[in-house]
Chain A
Amino acid sequence: DTGVSQDPRHKITKRGQNVTFRCDPISEHNRLYWYRQTLGQGPEFLTYFQNEAQLEKSRLLSDRFSAERPKGSFSTLEIQRTEQGDSAMYLCASSWGGGEKLFFGSGTQLSVL
């Protein structure tokens, strides 16, 4: 399968713990996006990369969130000192070139207790 892959599918953590998610994009795609989605809402933009460069980070994104894409392939999203409000589905998507036809992974469902 050559689609976007995310790991883990589900993560349950206690408030205050750190969590890290991984995304493997479609191999020929150079852009990678992170979104967050809560129930009844559309995906909310967090950040995106072109190759290894992080081009934009949402102003709404707390300093507790950090993302990397060190070799322009897979990406990680880390949340430090998790809060209950961080509970959401974290979606990764990739695209080719400057196009915005995003292909989404299955997401990581985070529950903070």
Chain B
Amino acid sequence: QKEVEQNSGPLSVPEGAIASLNCTYSDRGSQSFFWYRQYSGKSPELIMFIYSNGDKEDGRFTAQLNKASQYVSLLIRDSQPSDSATYLCAVSTWGKLQFGAGTQVVVTP
């Protein structure tokens, strides 16, 4: 079993709609949770982090964490073509990040 699991996609989202991305993790001792965006051929870029159960909003992005269910999600509201990228879920355990394989998002005009 992989430590961090994501649906690979692609997730096709009409422009202006909400994109919903999911991530599950296996280590109950994980402490911090991150979402990175990676454009094709580029390196990952941090867009959200969350430490506590509940929701955290930043602009068009909302991260949700449920430690009991070992589940993290990312919502992207009012999706734009520039949001087309691979979104990586990352989970921190004792100082190092473990990444999922990423979900490819394609925003269609």
Hey, which bits of chain A sit against chain B, CB under 8 A? 31, 33, 35, 40-45, 48, 55-56, 91, 98, 100-107
Contact = CB atoms under 8 A, between A and B. Distances in A.
A106 B46 contact: no
Interface residues of B, number: 21
Interface string B6-20: 001000000000000
B88 A43 contact: yes
A101 B100 CA distance: 16
Interface in B25-61: 32, 34, 42-46, 49
Interface stretch (B62-70, B74-82, B90-98): B90-98
Given A42-B100, A104-B43, 5 more contacts: A40-B8, A42-B88, A44-B99, A100-B34, A104-B44
Contacts, number: 52
**Listed residue (A33, A43, A48, A103) with the most chain B CB atoms within 10 angstroms of its CB:** A43
Nearest to B45: A104
A56 B32 CA distance: 18
Contacts of B49: 101
A44 B102 CA distance: 12
B99 A43 contact: yes
Contact of A106 (B32, B34, B43, B88): B43
Contacts of A41: 101-102
A41 B43 CA distance: 13
Contacts of B43: 91, 104-107
A42 B6 CA distance: 10
Closest 10 CB pairs of A and B: A42-B99, A104-B43, A100-B92, A43-B99, A42-B101, A42-B88, A104-B44, A42-B100, A107-B43, A41-B101
A69 B20 CA distance: 40
A100 B44 contact: no
